[in-house]
Amino acid sequence: MGPGNNTQISEFLLLGFSERPELQPLIFGIFLSMYLITVVGNLLIILAVSSDSHLHTPMYFFLANLSFVDICFTSTTVPKMLLNIQTQSKIITYEGCITQMNFFLIFSVLDIYLLAVMAYDRFVAICHPLHYMVIMNPRLCGLLLLLCWVTSVLHSLLQTSMVLPLSFCTKVEIPHFLCELNQMIKLSCSDTFFNNLVMYLAAMLIAGGPLVGILYSYSKIVSSICGISTAQGKYKAFSTCASHLSVVSLFFCTSLGVYLSSAATRSSHSSATASVMYTVVTPMLNPFIYSLRNKDIKEALMRFSAMAVGKSP
């Protein structure tokens, strides 16, 4: 459905973080560095998992998929922002804005669902260790991943299809560095009651459901760990889920902080700055958390590095 049938405008302006020209090179350098670290770090995780047969387990299967989604997540927004800074242009086309919003929704929801699936994996591994490989078989892992993708895509299509009929009159400035669903609805001069209703209901279901599942899984994990008699056994059990728990805490705490701060302040620029925490910083830190806190990943990365050096002329 073309924009000409539903809106009087053909482009938006992404205002970003600051209007001051002297800050643009600094912002460009910071975000380019974070983007490169995110891509390289998550790519190393994917290569380590795929190249090391010791890591061909359900836990690392989902970790590799999380790394792939994190690369896509940041690639949806950061390159466009860097291009706009480099060309000194704030313009994004209507079609480009809708496309960016669509993929941003897909990959953000995928992040949430994958973290929930990984929590379930750790629950089975610690609470039912003898049946772990039977329960978390390749078929179930594939079905869980497919369910994550299908649900994320359907949610994104629903939200996007509800934005397409909206009209945008004169104000086309988005006080953000990306085309966010909430910002698009705020800019519309159409009746957005149902858009807001569906957006908030979907947010409660999509974020609340996995969060409840994660909290339940870890409550059972903690109970199971407390039941282990030896201190060494407790440490070993906890160490298998420490990295994932760190990533979950970082993602949900920063996301919750963004929405609480946006509710407490009327400054959209402050909300945009805060949203960097879960859209850019969290995907960048995930590889460091898993590689520093996970002995298997560190060993796999060292073996991969040795193999790469050995093959070089």
Mean pLDDT of 124-136: 91
* pLDDT band (50, 70, 90) for residue 270: low
Give the CATH number of the domain where residue 183 resides. 1.20.1070.10
Specify if 4 maps to a domain: no
* pLDDT band (50, 70, 90) for residue 286: confident
Specify if 83 maps to a domain: yes
User: 228-232, 259-263, 280-284, 286-290 — which one is most confidently predicted on average?
Assistant: 280-284
Angle at 108 between CA 65 and CA 37, to 5 degrees: 65
Q: Which residue has the higher pLDDT, 20 or 190?
A: 190
Specify if 3 maps to a domain: no
pLDDT, tens digit (0-9, with 9 covering 90-100), for 200-252: 898 888 888 898 999 999 898 888 888 777 777 777 767 777 777 878 887 88
Specify if 313 maps to a domain: no
pLDDT, tens digit (0-9, with 9 covering 90-100), for 66-117: 999 999 999 999 999 999 999 888 899 999 999 999 999 999 999 999 999 9
Mean pLDDT of 152-157: 95
Specify if 312 maps to a domain: no
Specify if 311 maps to a domain: no
In 3D space, the residue among 126, 147, 2 whose CA is nearest the CA of residue 62 turns out to be 147
User: What pLDDT does residue 282 have?
Assistant: 87
* pLDDT band (50, 70, 90) for residue 7: very low
Judging by DSSP bridges, how do beta strands 11-14 and 91-93 pair with one another? Answer: antiparallel
Mean pLDDT of 138-164: 95
pLDDT, tens digit (0-9, with 9 covering 90-100), for 44-73: 999 889 888 888 899 999 999 999 999 999
Specify if 242 maps to a domain: yes
- Residue 246 sits in which domain range? 11-302
User: What pLDDT does residue 21 have?
Assistant: 77
HSE-up (13 A, CA, CB side) for residue 146: 6
User: What pLDDT does residue 285 have?
Assistant: 87
pTM of the predicted protein model:
0.88
Specify if 41 maps to a domain: yes
The count of domains in the chain is: 1
Q: Which residue has the higher pLDDT, 274 or 216?
A: 216
